[in-house]
Every structure is written in C-alpha cells, then in structure tokens.
C-alpha cells in the first residue's frame, strides 16, 4: 500500500481533472501506470480512498502512541503513512486531569455548601422579616 | 484547564466497572466495523458473543456507534488504556479475540490487515507470535496485505473490467479493418478512372512540351548575353570602391579597426548561434565560451550537488524523475566537455 496522492504530489481531496493532470505529467512510467489503474475508474478510487483513510488514521495513531517503528509497520506503508509525532498529550493523562479537576470542583462545592447555606438561610429570614414589618406598617396605618 | 466536556467514550469509560474491558470492547468493535459483507445485527451479536466474559456492565450500542464514527481520539484513548493495563497473557487473549472477530469466514479485509498489525504492535506481540496465532485460529498463514495502489491488484481483482476493455478494443479494430477495406476498394476504382484520364493527357502534354523546349532555348541564349554585360559593369564598380577604401584606410586606421570589430560582433549576434556542441554544453553548466577545464569541473560539481535526484527523495516521485532528467543532461554535458577539452 503506497500513498499515491503523496507520490503524485496532489491532495487527497483533488478532483478528477487535477488528478488526471498530475497522472499525465508524472515522469515515472511504472507509477503512472499504477495511478491510471486506480484513478481512472470511480469505484476503484472510492475503494482506495476508504483504505487510504483507515491507513492514514492508523499512521496518526502510531505516531501518537510512539509505534512508528513497530515490527509490523514496515515497507511502503511505513514510508508513506508515518507522520512526525505531534505534541498532543496522552489522551489517558488528559482524561485523568479532567476527572481530577471535576473532583476538585465538586469537593469545593461540598466544602463551601455549609457556610453558604447558613448565609442564605439568614438572608432569607431577614428578607421575610423586613417584608412582614413593611406589611405590618402599611396594614397598621389605615387601622 | 480545558473547558471541553467529556466525550461519550470518556463517560462510558468512567462509568464502566472495568476500564480495560470497555477499551478492548471499542477496539474489537473497530475491527468489526471494518469487516465487509456483515450486517449491523450480526456485528452486534458477534461482539456480544465474544465479550460474554467481560465485566464492563454497560450497553454495547454506544460502543458500536462510537466505533462507527471512526472517532480517532476515542480509539487512541482505548489503545492507551489497553496498553497500560494488559499484561502478556491478557494481550494475547485480546489479540486472539481480535483475530476471531476479524476472520470468522476466513477472509481478512485489507483494513483489518493493518488494524490487526497495529494491535499486535500496541500489545508488544512479535510478528512470529502473531502469524502462529493466526494460523492456529484460521488454518491459513497470515499473508502480507495486498496492495490496491498497484496495477497488478486490479488485474486480479477486477478481471471483468479488463475483459470488457479487451473486447471493446477488438471490436474497434474490426471496425477499423472493415473501414480500411472499403476505402481501399474505392481508391482502386478511382485510380482506374484516373489512369484513363492520364493517358489522354500525356499525349497532349508531349506535344506542348516540344513547343516549350524550343522557346526556352531561345530565352537562355538571351539571358547569357545580359549576364556578360552585367559582369563587366560590376568589375568596374569594384575597382572604384577599392580605391575609395584605400583612401579611407590611410586616413583613420585606428578608428576603422574598432568599427570593423563592432560590425563583426553585431553580425554574430544577429545571426542564429552556430550549432556548436561545446558552446551548448558550456551553457548547460552555466558557463560562457572560453571557460577553463578547472572552471568546468567546479561548475559540474556545483550543479550536480544542486540537482542530484537524492535531494528530492523526500518529495514526490515526480520531482525525483525531473531532477534525474536534469542531472543526466548536466552529466552528459560534462562528459562531452571532458572528452574535448
């Protein structure tokens, strides 16, 4: 499995016309024959594209997991689909970070709930008292 | 701190009773999704069957839908969990399950070739172990994956297309031959008619030609006379010009020489460059005529370094081919110059 798009220097999203141009201008006759066989027919290109997507996904996974030089990843595939390691951190570490962040938020809420509840009850009581007093004042005057 | 919410798979993993089992489940579902000619219900039943011993304690539906969406981040997370938690024994059993899920009917899809090998690398299983395991489970050795980026693959997997093409080519050739035969017949008829006409014309022409020859002889005689007269006139003129030129030369010799050289230069520039192979070879190396052997060698080294095909190896094959054509031209020029200099 080779990456024909990379070898022809076109993007995988290129339309048929661009690809046929690239194929026609290719100087490597064996590569040109292979590319013609794959890209001349729409169904074949579709089949090739799905496999191409899967294999490039695997290439990305291998780069992120540090498996770009595995024993099972050699030859044309490894040449064409290996990516340089990007600086994405480990997904598991990220998950652990986020869980611990959520836990700390939750704990803070639990810890602060007592005092905040007291303040809320006090404020509610005061509000009700003021309202009652006002009502009493207004109710008493006409009496 | 990221403000992203937890993804469906992360939630599933957090809720799961056994994280390894959930992660393995996703990887197996990923393998199943890449199996061809299997319906959705069959996939789900097969996954439930294989993972009957798992202790994850959640539904299979969400896992399958995540695998269908090809969520790379979820798969990466699952792979990390599996790698972190699996010992040697567990990793072999995971690979065992993956192979059975991938090849129930003995056929391994191309994508699963690569996925199985990825899992083997992830679980630190050597190629020999993988191939023996595969042979034990399926009865056939693990062949290297076929390559759909080559013409040979399509010759074997799409023979209908090639047969159709060959038939079309044959039909086209037959038509062509028939058309040719018809055209030949018409041509033959035409030629016969033409020959008859020609015979008549030839007789006429012979008569006309005799008359013309007589006329031409007379004209030639006249032309010779006029040419002799003209030659005499030209000789007189040349003598006069020579006298004038000698006068001028005695007057201003220095300035005349300069002028003469300029004139010659201009003539050279105006006329097309002579087909001189040496000059062309020198221009390929970026040199002007009159360069020394050492200069040629230095120029060749510089150009060869600049245009060597190995420099373009990391770019596309097309670039390599172009560079090798350039390099060949430079090398030919250099070889020629080294022979002649």
Produce one character per residue of B58-97: b if its CB has 16 or more CB atoms within 10 Å, e if not. bebeebbebbeeebeebbbbbbbbbbeebeeeebbebbeb
Residue A59 pLDDT > 70, yes or no?
A: yes
Which whole number is the average pLDDT over A56-79?
89
Contact A9 B316 (CB under 8 A): yes
Question: What is the average pLDDT value for chain B, to the nearest integer?
Answer: 84
Residue B9 pLDDT > 60, yes or no?
A: yes
pLDDT of residue A49: 93
Q: Is B110 exposed, middle or buried (0-12, 13-18, 19+ CB in 10 A)?
A: buried
Structure pTM?
A: 0.62
Return the closest-CA partner of residue B234 out of B221, B226, B246: B226
Q: Is B257 exposed, middle or buried (0-12, 13-18, 19+ CB in 10 A)?
A: exposed
How close B76 comes to chain A (CA, Å)? 6
Instruction: Choose among B77, B117, B126: nearest Cβ to A91.
Output: B77
Mutation target to probe the B interface, by most B beta carbons within 10 A, among A92, A102, A108 is A92
Instruction: Choose among B70, B122, B316: nearest Cβ to A57.
Output: B70
Contact B122 A67 (CB under 8 A): yes
Which whole number is the average pLDDT over B30-39?
88
Helices (H), chain A: 4-8, 16-24, 29-39, 42-65, 76-81, 91-140
For the segment B292-317, what is each residue's pLDDT rounded down to a tens digit?
A: 888 899 999 988 988 888 888 888 88
pLDDT of residue B265: 47
For the segment B151-183, what is each residue's pLDDT rounded down to a tens digit?
A: 888 888 887 887 888 888 899 999 999 999 999
CA atoms of B314 and A140, how far apart (whole Å): 94
The fraction of chain A above a pLDDT of 90, given in percent, is 43
pLDDT of residue B11: 92
Contact B80 A61 (CB under 8 A): no
The fraction of chain B above a pLDDT of 90, given in percent, is 28
Instruction: Choose among A37, A55, A92: nearest Cβ to B80.
Output: A92
Residue B2: DSSP 8-state: -
Q: For residue B146, what are the contacts with CB-CB under 8 A and spacing of at least 6? A: B110, B153, B157
For the segment B96-155, what is each residue's pLDDT rounded down to a tens digit?
A: 999 998 988 668 889 999 999 999 999 999 999 999 999 988 888 888 888 888 888 888
pLDDT of residue B251: 58
How close B271 comes to chain A (CA, Å)? 36
Contact A72 B117 (CB under 8 A): yes
CA atoms of B219 and A1, how far apart (whole Å): 82
For the segment B56-91, what is each residue's pLDDT rounded down to a tens digit?
A: 888 888 999 999 998 899 999 999 999 998 888 999
Which of the pair, B255 or A130, is modelled with greater confidence? A130
């Amino acid at each position: 499995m080779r990456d024909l798009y990379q070898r022809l220097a076109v993007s995988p999203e290129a339309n048929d016309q661009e690809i046929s141009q690239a194929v026609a201008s290719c100087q490597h006759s064996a590569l040109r024959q292979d590319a013609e066989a794959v890209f001349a027919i729409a169904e074949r290109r579709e089949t090739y594209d799905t496999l191409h997507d899967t294999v490039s996904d695997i290439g990305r996974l291998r780069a992120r997991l540090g498996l770009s030089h595995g024993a099972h990843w050699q030859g044309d595939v490894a040449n064409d689909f290996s990516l340089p390691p990007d600086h994405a951190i480990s997904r598991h570490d990220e998950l652990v970070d986020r869980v611990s962040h959520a836990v700390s938020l939750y704990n803070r809420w639990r810890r602060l709930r007592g005092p905040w509840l007291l303040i809320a009850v006090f404020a509610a009581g005061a509000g009700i008292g003021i309202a009652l007093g006002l009502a009493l004042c207004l109710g008493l005057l006409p009496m | 701190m990221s403000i992203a919410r937890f993804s469906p798979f992360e939630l599933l993993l957090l809720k799961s009773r056994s994280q390894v089992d959930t992660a393995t489940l996703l990887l197996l579902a990923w393998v199943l999704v890449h199996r061809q000619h299997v319906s959705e219900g069959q996939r789900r039943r097969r996954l439930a069957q294989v993972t009957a011993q798992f202790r994850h304690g959640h539904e299979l539906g969400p896992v399958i839908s995540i695998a269908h969406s090809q969520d790379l981040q979820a798969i990466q997370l699952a792979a990390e969990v599996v790698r972190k938690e699996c010992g040697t024994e567990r990793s072999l059993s995971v690979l065992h399950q993956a192979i059975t899920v991938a090849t129930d009917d003995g056929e391994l899809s191309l994508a699963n070739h690569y996925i199985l090998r990825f899992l083997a690398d992830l679980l630190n299983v050597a190629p020999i172990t993988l191939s023996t395991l595969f042979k034990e489970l399926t009865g056939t050795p693990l062949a290297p994956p076929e390559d759909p980026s080559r013409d040979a693959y399509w010759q074997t997997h799409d023979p209908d297309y090639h047969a159709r093409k060959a038939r079309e080519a044959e039909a086209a050739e037959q038509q062509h031959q028939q058309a040719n035969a018809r055209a030949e017949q018409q041509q033959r008829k035409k030629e016969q008619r033409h020959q008859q006409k020609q015979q008549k014309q030839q007789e006429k022409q012979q008569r006309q030609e005799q008359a013309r020859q007589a006329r031409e002889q007379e004209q030639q005689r006249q032309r010779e006379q006029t040419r002799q007269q003209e030659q005499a006139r030209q000789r007189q003129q040349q003598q006069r010009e020579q006298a004038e030129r000698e006068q001028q030369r005695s007057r201003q010799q220095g300035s005349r020489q300069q002028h003469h050289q300029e004139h010659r230069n201009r003539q050279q520039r105006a006329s097309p460059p002579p087909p001189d192979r040496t000059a062309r070879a020198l221009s390929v190396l970026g040199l002007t005529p009159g360069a020394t052997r050492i200069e040629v060698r230095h120029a060749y080294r510089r150009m060869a370094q600049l245009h060597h095909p190995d420099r373009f190896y990391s770019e596309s094959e097309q670039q390599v081919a172009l560079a090798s054509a350039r390099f060949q031209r430079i090398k030919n020029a250099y070889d020629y110059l080294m022979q002649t200099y």
